[in-house]
């Protein structure tokens, strides 16, 4: 059963597109991770799905009542002057799905699991940043929503609490809840998501099974070569001017697959021309590196 379908979603700010041509669909119990660096359009996508951005082009189909949506943004949405308990009670009541018995059961579970019990009578404005994040997540989950959106849910949490949040998410997912989570950290999404949407500069770079994307990432490497002289560097630039090598200062860098022919040609050229290098470093590429390679691949197709 399709629970969410987004078709050709675009939204334009005054200075240009925030998102352009985003399309994906989710079935009940799917777990979507939206991956992208800051400013890539992740939050705009979830705001459109939540109904908070309406002047977009494209189509969004929700296979559930909006009252069954739980959402937590990066910026807290509770009342500073209310206590932890009063905030949870208030947002439960205004949701349109308030049930006293369900509230009391969920309240007890969430404040204990999120370690907020000893702060339940404290005004929200006096909580630490991490506590505020946990309170906002608790508000999103208090009425057992069918569909949950979490925007960078563990950004301000220490490693122990990060792990605990993902344990909580996993518990709720196994109960049948559908999730959509944004992050700029691939590892956070890898452990919980079965679907992945990758966005960069407002454009969709990938949508599909997270395992498919992770296989691509794990087979991708970043090789960086530092040269001993400007003469050798210039010789490389001339020989590989139409390649995927990126030159800067005294280095050449390539993002490539394990058995890439061009990287083999590069090392053959170094040996043949007796070019001296001061360092060769092979590492896993950053998320930004992967985006650059994906954009480059798309440009080569056109």
Helices (H), 176-229: 186-190, 210-218
Helix (H) / strand (E) element for 46: namely helix 42-49
Q: How far apart are CA 207 and CA 219, in angstroms?
A: 18
Q: How confident is the model at residue 186 (pLDDT cuts 50, 70, 90)?
A: confident
Cβ-contact 142, 111 below 8 angstroms: no
Cβ-contact 207, 234 below 8 angstroms: no
Q: How does pLDDT run across 204-222, given as a tens digit for each residue?
A: 999 999 888 888 777 888 8
The answer as to CATH 3.40.30 being correct for domain 220-299 is no
Domain boundaries defined on the chain: 2-216, 220-299
Helices (H), 95-185: 100-113, 129-141, 159-174
pLDDT at 79: 94
From 172-176, 180-184, 295-299, the region with the lowest mean pLDDT: 295-299
237-239-243 Cα angle (round to 5): 75
Give the pLDDT mean for 77-93. Answer: 93
pLDDT at 292: 67
Q: How does pLDDT run across 241-299, given as a tens digit for each residue?
A: 777 788 888 899 988 887 778 788 888 999 999 999 999 999 887 766 777 677 666 54
Q: How far apart are CA 106 and CA 55, in angstroms?
A: 35
Q: Which CATH class is domain 2-216?
A: alpha beta
pLDDT at 302: 46
Q: Is the pLDDT of residue 46 over 80?
A: yes
Q: How far apart are CA 168 and CA 138, in angstroms?
A: 10
């Amino acid at each position: 059963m399709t629970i969410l379908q987004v078709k050709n979603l675009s939204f334009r700010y005054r200075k240009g597109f925030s998102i352009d041509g985003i399309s994906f669909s989710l079935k009940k119990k799917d777990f979507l991770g939206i991956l992208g660096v800051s400013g890539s359009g992740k939050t705009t996508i979830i705001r459109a799905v939540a109904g908070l951005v309406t002047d977009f082009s494209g189509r969004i189909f929700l296979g559930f009542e909006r009252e069954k949506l739980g959402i937590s943004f990066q910026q807290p949405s509770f009342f500073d002057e209310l206590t932890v308990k009063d905030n949870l009670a208030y947002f439960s009541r205004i949701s349109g799905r308030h049930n006293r018995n369900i509230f009391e059961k969920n309240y007890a579970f969430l404040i204990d699991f999120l370690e907020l019990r000893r702060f339940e009578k404290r005004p929200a404005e006096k909580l630490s940043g991490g506590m505020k994040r946990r309170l906002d997540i608790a508000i999103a989950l208090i009425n057992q929503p069918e569909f949950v959106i979490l925007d960078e849910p563990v950004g301000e949490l220490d490693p122990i609490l990060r792990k605990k949040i993902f344990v909580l998410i996993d518990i709720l997912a196994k109960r049948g809840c559908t999730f959509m989570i944004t992050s700029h950290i691939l590892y956070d999404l890898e452990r919980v998501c079965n679907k992945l949407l990758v966005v960069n500069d407002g454009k969709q770079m990938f949508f599909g099974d997270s395992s498919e994307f992770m296989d691509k990432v794990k087979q991708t490497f970043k090789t960086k070569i530092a040269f001993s002289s400007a003469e050798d560097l210039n010789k490389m630039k001339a020989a590989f001017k139409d390649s995927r090598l990126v030159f800067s200062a005294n280095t050449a860098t390539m993002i490539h697959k394990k058995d890439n022919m061009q990287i083999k040609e590069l090392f053959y050229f170094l040996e043949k021309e007796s070019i001296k290098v001061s360092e060769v470093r092979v590492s896993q590429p950053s998320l930004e590196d992967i985006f650059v390679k994906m954009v480059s691949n798309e440009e080569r197709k056109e």
